[in-house]
A and B are shown apart, each in its own frame.
Chain A
Amino acid sequence: AQSVAQPEDQVNVAEGNPLTVKCTYSVSGNPYLFWYVQYPNRGLQFLLKYITGDNLVKGSYGFEAEFNKSQTSFHLKKPSALVSDSALYFCAVRDLNTGGFKTIFGAGTRLFVKA
């Protein structure tokens, strides 16, 4: 069965510092991996995805994520955090071989960027 883990409930960083939000996954086949962001009282916004190809994917708002197959990780990163990046971030995975179109979401990590 597919699963995704976000080991940190909360991440605190200072504005201008790099940020990392961690995600690990478990699938039996090839994964589709996604990051979404949820601002207060808003729906989920798509940030980026890994389907195939280059392990480093770039997305919206300066975010990027690196697919690491050996560590089954897909950590979200940004070189310089902004206060406006403060939000709830969800990692998600879909197992192409067994999961069909079903996407599993992690528990979410709340990011606080302090000015």
Chain B
Amino acid sequence: SAVISQKPSRDICQRGTSLTIQCQVDSQVTMMFWYRQQPGQSLTLIATANQGSEATYESGFVIDKFPISRPNLTFSTLTVSNMSPEDSSIYLCSVTDSFQETQYFGPGTRLLVL
């Protein structure tokens, strides 16, 4: 399975500011996913990021709020823009294995917006 790291592991931010979360994978992967896990809730897919193309956003998520970069096959960033307390969540990066069957997850970034 892929080894996935995320930075930062946690942060406390002021409302109105932006935070960029980095996701690094130890192998080249085609598809990377960004999820949000709000307190006490399940995972919600924000967007799918493929290298060389625009990210595909799920209903309820927009590029202006959650811009994503995918500069190469091992790295992606998610920015949470103009943050509000409602953005307080765990943000998880995920990739699929080489068979594109199983998803593996990074350790997550815990964000608290005050």
- With A32-B101, A101-B96, A101-B100 known as contacts, the answer to whether A43 contacts B48 (CB < 8 A) is no
Partner-contacting stretch, out of B14-22, B39-47, B66-74, B76-84: B39-47
Q: Which of A32, A34, A101, A108 contacts B42 (CB 8 A)?
A: A108
Q: Return the chain A residue nearest B35 by Cβ.
A: A105
Contact of A107 among B41, B101, B105, B108 (CB under 8 A): B41
Interface centre among B1, B58, B103 (most CB of A within 10 A): B103
A105 to B46, CA, bound (A): 13
Known: A101-B31, A101-B96, A101-B100. A44 touches B45 (CB 8 A): no
A49's partner among B31, B48, B58, B102 (CB-CB below 8 A) is B102
* Residues of chain A lying within 8 A (CB to CB) of residue B105: 36, 43-45
B92 within 8 A of A: yes
B103 near A103 with CB under 8 A, answer: yes
Complex CA–CA separation, A64 to B105 (angstroms): 21
Near A by CB (< 8 A), chain B positions 94-114 give: 96, 100-108, 110
Nearest-neighbor residue (CB-CB) of A106 within chain B: B42
Interchain CB contact under 8 A, B1 and A46: yes
Closest residue to B9 on the A side, CB-wise? A41
| Chain A residues close to B by CB (< 8 Å) | 32, 34, 36, 41-46, 49, 51, 90, 92, 101-103, 105-108
